[in-house]
Structure 1
Amino acid sequence: MRKKSTRKSNSRFRLFRLVIFAGLIMTLAFIFLVSTLGNQKFGGLHKLVLETTGPVQEVVTSGVNYLLSFKQGYLEVLGVREENKRLWKELKECRALLHKSREAMATNARLKKLLAFKDAADFPVVTASVIGKDPSMWFRSLIIDAGTNSGVVKGSPVANSEGIIGQVITASPSYSKVLLAIAPSSAIDVLLQKSRVRGVLKGSGKLTYRLEYVLKTVEIEEGDVVVTAGYGGMFPTGMPVGVVSKVIRKRRGMFHEIEVTPSVDYKTLENVFVLQRNESAVDE
């Protein structure tokens, strides 16, 4: 019983203290309000209340200012992020436009060379595009989109503005297969442009030629130009084939070992010309 009465007494005492504290706070607040609204003179009580509530107001004001500053910074970050996305989009569009412009300029330059070659040629030609490649070493070849319907026949020489590419080995109505001059099974009669000495140009299976059957008595140097000889009517005379890039002089044997770099860039072939021939010139 004593414990219960003690607990009740403690609860009443706490409640009493709470009421007294609340009353004191309300009294101070009332006095502060009245003194603020009614009298502009600062009394001692007013100063006491001001000293009591000032730090609280300072903390509240700082907190509000911090929240406002954080909100402003967050909005600015969002704006920068959106601006960044917009700029990246514009940059991608500019890069795509620049790529298209460069591709258009390269295509224009290539087509200008082809047109100049076609206008300067003394023989009819058929324009064709490369649509496929055979990478095998022995039968390096191309597939082009021109065939017998366009006047292309087996044995027709194929070239571009840079020089000889190869010859047609089979043709259908709309397509043809071209054996490249760099294929080991290819052989072309050629001349050294400077000395007019004849030789046979054979493919190496790589991006070079071998010039064979040139006697050691012939003076030959790196940089000498090699052109078609025109024998047999296969290729016109004087078309560029390549440039001598290496001469190996051995003690034994009758002939030089000569490496020739093609005048044609076989890695970037896109458009070619097929030189038209008469049916009587076609070898069955």
Structure 2
Amino acid sequence: MIKRGSKVTVIGLALPIRIWAQRFALLGFLSLSFALVIFSRSDWTGIQQFRVTIVDTVSPILYVLNQPVEALSNATNAVEGFFSIYTDNQRLREENARLLQWVHEARRLGLENATLRAQLAYVPDKRTHFVTARVVADTGGTFFQSILINAGAREYVRLGQAVVWHGGLVGRIVEVGERTSRVLLMIDINSRIPVMIQSTGDRAILKGNNSSQPRLEFLPGNSPISPGDWVVTSGHGGVYPPGIAVGAVSQISDGVITLQPMVEWSKLSQAIILDFGVNGIIPPPERLPASSKLLKK
């Protein structure tokens, strides 16, 4: 009976404390949070020193506690890396096998091509000469799109030569000085370029319109052209050599076909002048500058 009475007494004492704790727990936690915020924002020297001391004391403990987590993370990364390497290895093996098949096929086709050329007495294309120059000025405006390059007659640059960059057509040489030349861009309103749709073989004229997307005109009405088709120079007219990449069809709307050039005009800082030996608009040797005639020699 005595033990039972004492037990009832302890519970009776604890019950009011529990009730008061439940009533003021939220207020207490809010007060503590507010105090911690003030403590963390305080600039008092003593508080700052106390805060630094706590951080210095807790940091080694946090480092030790973080070691298992870091070890687990490293192990996980190692396992993921192993499977990633295995996957990449399998992919590269398959790609290598496909490439080896293409190598054998290319060798076979090369031998066949050489045999056919020998039988037909085929005349190979002339060797292409080129000069790399830097764009020194963008002389374009509202009605004229051109650039100035730091290569001229002394580098054997001639009128009509094609200008490319990163494999894409830029334009053609329209003015030649001794040290500089002017390039008419393919997007200029005066530019007309004979082109060919690579997928269909249909020919058209690429007409500049002083915008970043020139238009294709005179394309056959039954041409199965679609956005994404690549367009290259056709070589007709003797100005541009055939096969130079121009760009891709970007949009077809109400009979208007626009093209996205391969060259990014805003990033054009250099250019390559190609000499394919075409004679479409190149003047005869007697009209060339003296230094340009050295090329013929």
Q: TM-score, normalised by structure 2?
A: 0.51
| Deviation digits for residues 179-231 of structure 1 (CA, Å, limit 9, x no counterpart) | 00001110100000011000000112111110001122111111111110011
Which amino acid counterpart does residue 261 of structure 1 have in structure 2?
Q
Q: Report the Cα distance in structure 2 between the residues aligned to 1:277 and 1:223, rounded to whole angstroms.
A: 28
Aligned position for 1:193: 198
In 1, the alpha carbon distance for the partners of 2:280 and 2:209 equals 27
Distance 1:277 1:152, change over 3 A: farther
Instruction: Report the RMSD for the aligned CA atoms in angstroms.
Output: 2.4
Q: In the alignment, which residue of structure 2 is the partner of 1:275?
A: 274
Q: Percent identity?
A: 31
Secondary structure of the residue that 2:250 maps to in structure 1?
Answer: strand
Q: Which residue in the other structure is 1:265 paired with?
A: 264
Count matched residues: 163
Structure 2 counterpart of 1:260, which letter? L
Task: Give how far 1:122 is off.
Answer: 4.9
Pair 1:211–1:150, CA change in 2 (3 A)? same
Give CA-to-partner distance per residue, 1:144-188, whole Å, 9 cap, x none: 000010010111110012310000110001000000000111010
Contact kept? 2:250, 2:258, Cα under 8 Å: yes
When residues 282 and 216 of structure 1 are mapped into structure 2, their CA distance, relative to the original with a 3 A threshold, is: closer
Q: Deviations over 1:44-90 (max 9, x none)?
A: xxxxxxxxxxxxxxxxxxxxxxxxx79xx9xxxxxxxxxxxxxxxxx
Q: Note closer, same or farther for the CA distance 1:174–1:238 as it changes in structure 2 (3 Å cut).
A: same
Confirm or deny: 8 A CA contact 2:159 2:174 kept in the other structure: yes
Distance 1:281 1:227, change over 3 A: closer
2:278, 2:213 → 1: CA distance? 31
Alignment of 1:11-50 (within 5 A): none
CA–CA distance in 1 between the matches of 2:176 and 2:277?
15
The one-letter amino acid paired with 1:257 is V
Give the C-alpha shift of residue 135 in structure 1.
2.8
CA change 1:148–1:215 in 2 (3 A) is same
Which residue, 171, 180, 184 being the options, matches 1:175?
A: 180
Instruction: Return the alpha-carbon distance in structure 2 between the equivalents of residues 156 and 188 of structure 1.
Output: 13
Identify if the C-alpha distance between structure 1 residues 143 and 125 changes in structure 2 by more than 3 Å, giving closer, same or farther: same
Q: What residue number does 2:212 align with? A: 207
Query: Take 2:279 and 2:217, find their aligned partners in 1: how far apart are those partners?
Result: 30
Q: CA deviation at 1:248?
A: 2.1
CA contact (8 A) 2:238 2:281 kept: no
User: Match for 1:184 among 185, 189, 207?
Assistant: 189
Distance 1:190 1:172, change over 3 A: same
Judged with a 3 Å threshold, the aligned counterparts in structure 2 of structure 1 residues 241 and 267 are, in CA distance, closer, same or farther, namely same
Match for 2:229: what amino acid? D
The 2-side partners of 1:279 and 1:196 are apart by 22
Shift, 1:271, TM fit: 1.1
Residue 230 of structure 2: which of 216, 225, 230 is its match? 225
Question: Aligned residue for 1:244?
Answer: 249
What is the rounded CA distance, in whole Å, between the counterparts of 1:138 and 1:163 in structure 2? 23
If the length of structure 1 is used for normalisation, what is the TM-score?
0.53
Partner of 2:140: 135
Answer yes or no: is the 8 Å Cα contact 2:239–2:279 preserved in 1.
no
After TM superposition, which residue ranges in structure 1, 4 or more long, deviate above 4 angstroms? 277-282
| Cα pair 1:153 1:277 within 8 Å, conserved | no
Match of residue 157, structure 1, among 159, 162, 177: 162
Query: In 2, distance between residues paired with 1:281 and 1:189?
Result: 12
Stretches of structure 1 that go unaligned for 5 or more consecutive residues are 1-68, 74-120, 250-255
Q: Distance in 1 between matches of 2:239 and 2:177?
A: 20
Structure-2 change in CA distance of 1:164 and 1:257 (3 Å): same
